[in-house]
Structure 1
Amino acid sequence: MDLIKVVIVEDHKLVRSGIKLLLGSDPKISVIAEAVCGAQVLEYLMKNELPDMVITDFHMPDTSGMELLKEIRNHYPAVRVVFLTMVEDNKIITEAFDNGVEGYLTKDISADELLFAVNHIAGGGKYISANLSHQLFLKPLQGLQKQDTATTSLEFNSREIEVLDLISQGMTNSEMGEKLFLSKRTVEGHRRSLIEKVQCRNSAELVKFAVKNGLI
C-alpha cells in the first residue's frame, strides 16, 4: 500500500508538531517535510520528489495561502492542497475551491475528522469541515425561510441537508452511510429524493443547483 506523502506548512512550531503527531498516528500517512512559510514549501517542491498533499495554514509570514494554492496549481497540478486554518470566511472558502483546493479544514476539528479528510482527499475526493459545511448551508437556508413563500416552494429536511452537504464533498453512498450511520439504500433514497425535488437529472446537476442558489 502506497503511503500518503504530506508536507505541512505552519509557522507555529507547537501547532505544526501537533499536526504531525496526529497524522503520524495513521500508518497510511507519512509527513515527509515541514515548512514555516510559502517560500519554503515552494523551494522544497522544486528540489525534491513531489508529495501527494500539502496541508497549509491560510495566514503565513510571507504570503497568503491563496497565493500558495495558485502557485502549486500552476506548477504542480498533481499535488493536492488542503487548508487547515482558523479562517471561516465564506467568501474565502468559496474562492479557495474555485482555485482548486481539495480540502478546507478548521483547526478545531477532531483528530478522527482530520485523518478521514486526508484519506478521503488522497483518494480523489474533496472535503470541507463538518462545522463549516453546516454553517454554509444554514445561513442561506435561514434566508430562504424569510423570503416570501411565492419565491421558493422548496423545503429541505435536516437529513436531506446533511446528504446534500456530503454529496457536494464528493462522497459515495457508502461513505455517506458510514458517516451518517445509515444504510447505503437509505442514502440512495435521500439522493433520489433531492434530485426529484429540484427536478435535475443527476448528482452533478444537483450540486450545481446548490451552488447557484447559495446552498454551498
Structure 2
Amino acid sequence: MAIAKRHTVLVADDHSLYRAGLSFLLKDKLGFRTVIEASSFDAALDRLSEEGQVELGLFDLTMPGISGPESLSVVKETYPGLRVAIVSGSEERDAVLRTVATGLSGYIPKSLSDDEIVGALEDVLDGRIYVPRFMTSGATGGAKLSTPQTAEGKGGPGGGAITKPISPRQRDVLDCVRRGLSNKEIARELDIAEGTVKIHLAALFSHFGARNRTELATKR
C-alpha cells in the first residue's frame, strides 16, 4: 500500500538518539518529507515560528523548558492547524489525563514497539486522539488516577486558582516585560526568536488573566 506523502513534522526531545529513531519512522513509515528537530522547548518554539506549515508536533515531557502537558496548550492555540502529541517515557495515568484535558491529540509511551508507535501516530494524523492501552487495562502500575483540575494553569476573571507554576523561561520573559522591553528586545536578550516571545507572552496572559502588558507587569 502506498504511503501518504506528508510535508513537515517537528520532533522535540532532548535525547538525540531517540530523535533520530523517531525521525526515521516518520519518514520511512509515515511519508514525511521533512523532520525538524529540537532539543528544548524554546528551540521547538523557535523552529515553529521559522517554518511554514508544520502538520504534527511531537514533544517529550521531560526536556528542558516544559513543565507538563499544560505547557503545550498555548502552542495549539497559536498554531490551530498543528496536531500536538506527547511522546514520553512516563506511563503515569495522571499525565495522560492532563494531556487529554489540555486538548492535545494523544499521549504515546516510548515503550511501544515501532509498529505500535506508527499506528498511534496514524490515529493522531487521522484526527483521532490516541490514548495508550494501559488507560483501560485496569492496572494502575502504582500511578495515581486523578481527575485533572479544569482551572489548572489558568487564571483570570471567572477562572479558578492558579495551580501550575510558570516555566523558568516564562519567568524570564515576565521579568523583561516588567523592565519595559519590547518583544524584539526580549528576543535579543534571551537569544530566542521573536515568535517564541509571542508564544510565551500568550501563555503568561492566559496564566495570569492579564489584559495588557502593563497589567501583566504587576503579576507575581
TM-score for both structures, normalised by structure 1: 0.58
Kept after mapping to 1: 8 A contact 2:83/2:105? yes
Compute the RMSD of aligned alpha carbons.
1.9
Aligned partner letter, 1:125: R
Q: Does 1:45 align with 2:48?
A: yes
Q: Using a 3 Å threshold, how does the CA distance of structure 1 residues 67 and 42 change in structure 2: closer, same or farther? A: farther
3-state SS in 1 of match to 2:116: helix
Deviation at 1:18, TM superposition (A): 1.3
Q: 2:96–2:131: 8 Å Cα contact kept in structure 1?
A: no
* Aligned equivalent of 2:210: none
* Identity fraction in percent: 25
Q: Which residue does 1:133 correspond to in 2?
A: 135
Amino acid at match of 1:66: P
Q: How does 1:152-191 map to 2 (within 5 A)?
A: none
Match of 2:61 among 58, 62, 85: 58
Size of the alignment, in residue pairs? Answer: 137
Report matched runs for 1:115-130 at 5 Å.
Answer: 115-130=118-133
Q: Which amino acid aligns with 1:50?
A: Q
Partners of 1:25 and 1:133 lie apart in 2 by 29
How far the C-alpha of 1:4 sits from its partner, in A, is 5.3
Q: Does 1:29 align with 2:32?
A: yes
Q: CA offsets, 1:80-102, max 9 Å, x none? A: 11111012221221111011111
Question: Structure 2, unaligned stretches of length 5 or more?
Answer: 141-220
**1:27-66 Cα distance to aligned partner (Å, 9 max, x none):** 5234430001111111111121131111111111122242
2:22, 2:30 → 1: CA distance?
15
**1:81 counterpart = 2:87:** no
Match of 1:69 among 53, 67, 72: 72
* Bigger share in helix: 1
Q: CA deviation at 1:72?
A: 0.8
DSSP-derived class of the 1:20 partner = helix
Instruction: Tell me the TM-score normalized by structure 2.
Output: 0.57
